Amino acid sequence: MLSMKGKYGLKALYHLAGLPPGVMAQSIEISEKHGISKKFLDAILADLRHSGFVQTRKGRGGGYCLTRSPDSIMVGHVLRVLDGPLAPIHCASRTAYHRCHDCPDENACAVRLTMLEVREAIAAVLDNKSLTAMRQMVEDEKADLDEVLAAS
């Protein structure tokens, strides 16, 4: 499931993806706009910098910005870094694997086998959804809403 860390990280990147080229955003600005504690946000931004999605500049006009075009950053890229392997259940991951305590035979576990399929489906959606596409979704929703309002 999506953790708070993952959720806030995506919101922060969503924010940065909306900046004009060359403009940087300070973390206080993001934290106030999206209602995230600044301390928590700073820790998340540090992870995102470490994994190569955002970069910082100090001083006047400094802050955070994306390292590359938002259409090449996928939601799935970010969530693997913030939340670990995409897996709906621990035994469905090879690298963050934990066995369930109450499981006699995981190879015959119907829940696990189902969740292995779910995992692939999650990856298929998230690895094809870019930050640009996220912003587009919001735009489309707004346009739909305006249309409904105009018609009523």
Contacts of other proteins in 30-89 (CB under 8 A): 50-53, 67-68, 72-74, 76-78, 80-81, 85-87
Torsion angle of the four alpha carbons 39, 47, 20, 143, in this order, in degrees rounded to the nearest 10: -80
**10 and 137 in contact (C-beta within 8 Å)?**
no
Query: Which lies closer to other proteins via its Cβ, residue 3 or residue 128?
Result: 128
Query: Which lies closer to other proteins via its Cβ, residue 19 or residue 116?
Result: 116
Query: Which lies closer to other proteins via its Cβ, residue 1 or residue 149?
Result: 1
For the CB of residue 151, give the shortest distance to other proteins in the complex, in Å.
31
Question: 38 CB contacts (<8 Å, ≥6 apart)?
Answer: 27, 28, 31
Concatenated DSSP letters for 25-47?
Answer: B-HHHHHHHHT--HHHHHHHHHH
Query: Which lies closer to other proteins via its Cβ, residue 37 or residue 128?
Result: 128
Contacts of other proteins in 115-134 (CB under 8 A): 116, 119-120, 122-123, 127-128
d(CA 134, CA 70): 10
H/E element, 54: strand 54-57
Residues in touch with other proteins (CB under 8 A): 50-53, 67-68, 72-74, 76-78, 80-81, 85-87, 93-96, 116, 119-120, 122-123, 127-128
